[in-house]
Each structure stands twice: as C-alpha cells, then as structure tokens.
C-alpha cells in the first residue's frame, strides 16, 4: 500500500483493520478510504468483512452507543430518528452535475464543484471522537453479472447494522473484483448528536455524484437518507444501467402460484410509496423475492430480474395479523429485526399505528416520552408512532421467501404490474394491449397521492412515472426509451398490468376490499398463461365478470356480485381523458426529451375514449363493453 495512504490508515485502523483493507489489494479503494479518514478525522476505524464476528461487533456497538435499544423479544431492537428527520429529504437531495449535464426540471440538481465543496466542508472533522465503520456489501446476488460491489463509510453503527440486514456481504466480492475501481462509494455522517439524534438538520445534505458513482449524506439518520445502498445507490444504478442496456427499477419481485399450485409465475411490480406495493409482494400463500428494487436484464430472449437486496425496510403502519400475517408473524417472533420510529412501551414491546391491538396510552417514541394527546415541538399532536415508522428484516426470516432469492441468474419475469393511488379514474386491474402500450399509457402516466414517506404535504396527487421519478438519474425521455428498448430482442415480452386499490364509490367508500388485490393478481397469472379471455376497452383489457367470480370464491370465499363488478370496472371516460390531458401537459411543459411515441400513444387513447363516449356516454358499464366487443 502506498506509504502516504498507509500513514493515514494504520494509526486509525490499527493493525487488524488495516490488514483487512490491505488484503483486498485494491489501490483505488484504499485511496478512497484514506481520503475520507483524513477528512472526517474519526478516533478509530473498524473494517467490516463478511464474517459473523464483524457483523456482531457492529450490532453490539449499536446497543452500547445508544443508537438502538433491546426489546423484549430476542433479536429485536428499536431505533429513533430525530423529530424533524422522519422521511426522505427531497429538498436537500441533489445530483451534482457539470454545467453541460441536463437531467430535466423535475430532477433536483446542484453545480458539481459547489456541491463537492459544500459536502467536504461539512464532513471536515465531523467524526472527531467517533468510530468510523467501513463496510463492504453487494447489490444483487454475489458472483453474478447483476452484482455491483459497494463500500459504505459511516459513523453510525445503526446505518451499518441496517445494511447488514438489508444487503449481501461484499468483502469477498471486492476480492473477486481485483483492483477495479468500478464500485459504488457512500460517505455518511450523522453529525453532532443530541439525545442520540442528529442535531444539525439544517445542514442535512444528500448529494449524488454521478461522475464518481458516489453519494454524500450528512446530519441525518433516517435510513432513506443514510442507508447508501437503498434509494441512493438506486440513482447510481439507473445511470449505469442506462449506459449498459439494462434496467434498475423501483420494483418488487414475487412468485404467484397458478391453479392447484402446479406452477409458479414471477411478476415484478412498481408502486409509489404507501400504494400497496409491499402488501402485494407479501400476499399470503404466494412467494416473495423482493419488495422494493430490482435489476432487469434481457437474457437469451427473456427478461430476468434479481432483488438488489436481501432484506425489507418496510412501512409498518397497518401491518397486523389480519392484513399481513407473514410479515406480522416475523415481527412478533425471535430473530433480527430493527423497528424504527415506533412506540416502545414500558414492557419493551414495539407498537405502531393500526397494529391490531388496543392502543397504548404512553411510552417512548421519536418525540421522547409520549402520552396520548401530546404536542410536539411544531405544536402538532404526536401520534403513538410515526406514520412512516419502519421495520428492517431479512427476507429469509419470512416463511414465504422464494428459493431463488440469491439465484445469480435471477428469475424469468412474465408479468409487470404498475400501481398508484386514484379515487376516481382507474379500474382495479387492467392489462395493456402490448409492452409499448403499457409503458407509454400506464407506467409513464402513474399518479399518486403523497404520503408520510416523503417530507412535505400529504394528500396531493402527483405525477410519478414508473413510481421512479424521485430517483431518476437520466433524463425522463431517455428513461422511457430504455424501458421500451429492453424487450427489443425478447420473443414474448412480459404482459403489463395496472392496478388501483384506492377507487372510491359515490359514497366515498373504497370499492376494493383490503384483500381483493389477491384476486387481481391471480387473474393476471391466468392471463399470462392465456387461460382466460378479457374485454378489450379503449384503454386496455378488463377482466370478465364470469372469470372473477370463481377466483373470488376460491381465494377469499366471497360471493362476488355483478353490481360490485360493474361499479369497480365502470369506464369513467371524463376522468380518463382529464388524466391524459394532465399527463400530456406535464410532458409538454416539463420534459425536454419526451419521446414522440409517448404523445402519439396518449393522443390515440384519448381518441378511442372519445369514440366510445359518442356511442355510450360518459360512464360505460363493463357489461356493455363486453357486448360491444362480441
């Protein structure tokens, strides 16, 4: 190792940790670590390999330094973020771009030189008196063409512990990579702590340097801002995928059993936060590979996908034994789980909103000591747990984990599901005419109400193409074209579906039951295999009533009525046209590189809707549409 780098690292690392770095024989890696050891000036450096001993050291440090506390059930811990550090900080998350780089008006950015100076100024001496953790992980299965080695530098044992649960160990992956500089880099510091949480949130920064495939995160602890391998690495991977001809998507991967469990069909699905994504991926009786991020590649004329992660960082609100038995079972059994921003009772039990139990009257939460009716520093009533409270758990802890979780080849994808939050427009489930139609009129037009997962106002319906807008690191038009192009050499592309679990009736009540999504997924599985027909409408294919009736009976034991079907699958032409016009305006005014095929697809759909309206009026029953086709 170069003498100067050795002089920086050895005193901070000590001989054992220094030898761990030296063994990787990667000069670029060592130079990177040395640079930030010198800048951040920690009291000591711990290097995490793939060993259980190293993982245990970090888990124990999280307890001893107060970033986590032990709960009553063995292996369970709780972590609190600061009161004003409870979600992704979109305002201070920026791409660092050169003057000649343009991503688009909806993608937040800053001048690269200025951003790097700001990050380095904040990081200078920020770890004084603390321990730095240098940890190696792998995005995607190890020893695979999907693999991306990563290194995380942080002064938060909670962040490093979270990543150990969420990601595959990558020390040996670095060894396989040799002296390559093609790895993702992450530098994080929680900054000065007060009562165990980041004090200087006014200096919260999340900067993404696409040129160096590197992320800086400062003065924050919330995992969405700090766990570099999650949405932060996703931004880096979207750019790399765009350059190399594959896709990085905000998608779950699940296996759905066919009739009689004689086959299993793999789907990916992309939903904005709090739109039913994890609940779909975790449907009882089906299989899960991943709930959040997927890499997709064309392999031998088929689309294959892997889960980037091996764990789940899931929203815990509404998780209970009735709605999510697989997750709830894992969260109430011994095993390694981190609960963040829940309530901890005097009995050291975690509680959260709508957990199915009697609501407690007091405890400890992200605001400190809590009691019912308490007001926070912003004078708002504090709920027993935050709406964005989370759980961090390994997928293998779940009884429905699919055996292909770590398959280096991934799984063949035969269906893709897009979803959003919509009270008055889209039907519960709909199939596109073909791949291009699905990408252009369904995936690229997703709208959703904002939720507590992002800082800011809730309840505002926002455009969010592919549920990925917040994370794009390439221009929107290019990203859409990448999605169109990936099936260029695919003989039979996956079918594309759109779902909406939030449609309301005239009385304002939801038309979908909480578990109805299972029926829609089973219908999709049969459509993939061509076992049932569908109704062709101006916007796509709708299920036939006669096909849904037996699925409702089989899956939910429910008698599904024609009245329910008619209200759910009514073609709402005014709302459909209004949506398309909203979307067209966004692409006209905010996207500088909108593909021509997108506008044509939207215009064609509006024309079909207008033609249907002339024949049948504004609101058309699916039974009428079925007769029209026949």
Contact 424, 503 (CB under 8 A): yes
| Three-class secondary structure of residue 243 per DSSP | helix
Assign 3-class secondary structure to 43-101: CEEEEECCCHHHHHHHHHHHHHCCCCEECCCCCEEEECCCCCCCCECCCCEEEEECCCC
Length of the chain: 630
187 vs 227: CA distance, rounded Å: 10
Contact 131, 37 (CB under 8 A): no
Half-sphere exposure of 363 (CA within 13 A, CB side): 22
Active site residue: 40, 138, 275, 612, which one?
Answer: 275
119 vs 303: CA distance, rounded Å: 39
Q: Whose CA is closest to 415, among 259, 250, 289, 255? A: 255
The Cβ of residue 509 has, within 10 Å, a number of other Cβ atoms equal to: 7
Asked about 275 being catalytic, the answer comes back as yes
Half-sphere exposure of 433 (CA within 13 A, CB side): 12
Backbone angles phi, psi at 186, to 5 degrees: -135, 130
Q: Whose CA is closest to 273, among 331, 307, 224? A: 224
Contact 31, 5 (CB under 8 A): yes
The residues carrying an active-site annotation are 275
């Amino acid at each position: 190792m170069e003498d100067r780098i050795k002089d920086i690292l050895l005193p901070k690392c000590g001989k054992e940790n220094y030898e761990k770095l030296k063994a990787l024989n990667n000069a670029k890696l060592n130079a990177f670590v040395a640079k930030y050891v010198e800048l951040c000036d920690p009291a000591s450096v711990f290097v995490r390999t793939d060993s259980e001993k190293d993982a245990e050291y970090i888990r124990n440090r999280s307890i001893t330094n107060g970033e986590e506390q032990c709960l009553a059930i063995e292996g369970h811990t709780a972590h609190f973020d600061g009161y004003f550090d409870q979600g992704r900080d979109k305002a201070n998350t920026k791409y660092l771009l050169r003057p000649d780089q343009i991503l688009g008006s909806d993608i937040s950015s800053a001048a690269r030189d200025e951003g790097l100076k700001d990050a380095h100024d904040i990081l200078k001496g920020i770890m004084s008196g603390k321990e730095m953790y240098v940890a190696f992980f792998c995005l995607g299965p190890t020893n695979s063409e999907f693999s991306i080695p990563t290194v995380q530098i942080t002064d938060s044992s909670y962040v490093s512990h979270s990543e150990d649960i969420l990601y595959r160990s990558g020390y040996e992956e670095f060894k396989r990579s040799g002296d390559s500089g093609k790895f993702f880099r992450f530098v994080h510091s929680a900054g000065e702590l007060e009562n165990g949480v980041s004090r200087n949130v006014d200096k919260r920064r999340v900067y993404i340097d696409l040129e160096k495939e590197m992320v800086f995160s400062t003065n924050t602890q919330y995992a969405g801002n700090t766990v570099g391998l999650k949405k932060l690495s996703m931004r880096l991977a979207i750019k790399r995928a765009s350059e190399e001809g594959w896709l990085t998507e905000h998608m779950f991967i699940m296996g759905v059993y066919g009739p009689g469990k004689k086959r299993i069909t793999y789907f990916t699905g992309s939903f904005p936060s709090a739109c039913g994504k994890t609940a779909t991926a975790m449907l009882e009786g089906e299989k899960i590979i991943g709930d959040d991020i997927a890499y997709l590649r064309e392999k031998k004329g088929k689309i294959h996908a892997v889960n980037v992660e091996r764990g789940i960082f899931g929203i815990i609100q509404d998780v209970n034994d009735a709605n999510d038995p697989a997750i709830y079972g894992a969260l109430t059994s011994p095993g390694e789980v981190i609960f963040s921003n829940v309530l901890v009772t005097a009995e050291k039990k975690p509680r959260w909103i709508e957990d199915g139990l009697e609501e407690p009257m007091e405890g400890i939460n992200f605001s400190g000591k809590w009691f019912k009716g308490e007001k926070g520093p912003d004078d708002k009533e504090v709920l027993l747990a935050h709406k964005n409270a989370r759980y961090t758990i390994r997928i293998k802890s779940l009884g429905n984990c699919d055996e292909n979780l770590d398959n280096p080849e991934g799984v063949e994808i035969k269906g893709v599901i897009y979803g959003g939050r919509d009270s008055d427009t889209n039907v519960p489930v709909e199939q596109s005419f073909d791949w291009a139609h699905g990408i252009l009129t369904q995936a690229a037009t997703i709208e959703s109400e904002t939720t507590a997962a992002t800082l800011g106002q809730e309840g505002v319906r926002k455009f969010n193409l592919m549920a990925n807008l917040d994370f794009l690191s390439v221009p929107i038009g290019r990203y859409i074209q990448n999605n169109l192009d990936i099936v260029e050499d695919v003989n039979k592309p996956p079918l594309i579906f759109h779902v909406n679990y939030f449609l309301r009736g005239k009385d304002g009540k939801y038309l979908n039951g909480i578990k109805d999504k299972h029926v829609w997924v089973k219908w999709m599985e049969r459509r993939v295999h061509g076992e049932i027909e569908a109704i062709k409408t101006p916007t796509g294919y709708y299920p036939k009533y006669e096909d849904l009736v037996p699925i409702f009976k089989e899956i939910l034991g429910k008698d599904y009525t024609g009245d329910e079907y008619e209200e759910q699958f009514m073609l709402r032409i005014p709302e459909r046209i209004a949506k398309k016009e909203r979307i067209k305006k966004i692409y006209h005014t905010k996207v500088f590189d909108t593909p021509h095929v997108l506008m044509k697809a939207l215009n064609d759909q509006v024309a079909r809707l207008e033609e249907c309206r002339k024949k049948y009026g504004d609101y058309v029953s699916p039974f009428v549409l079925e007769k029209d086709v026949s």
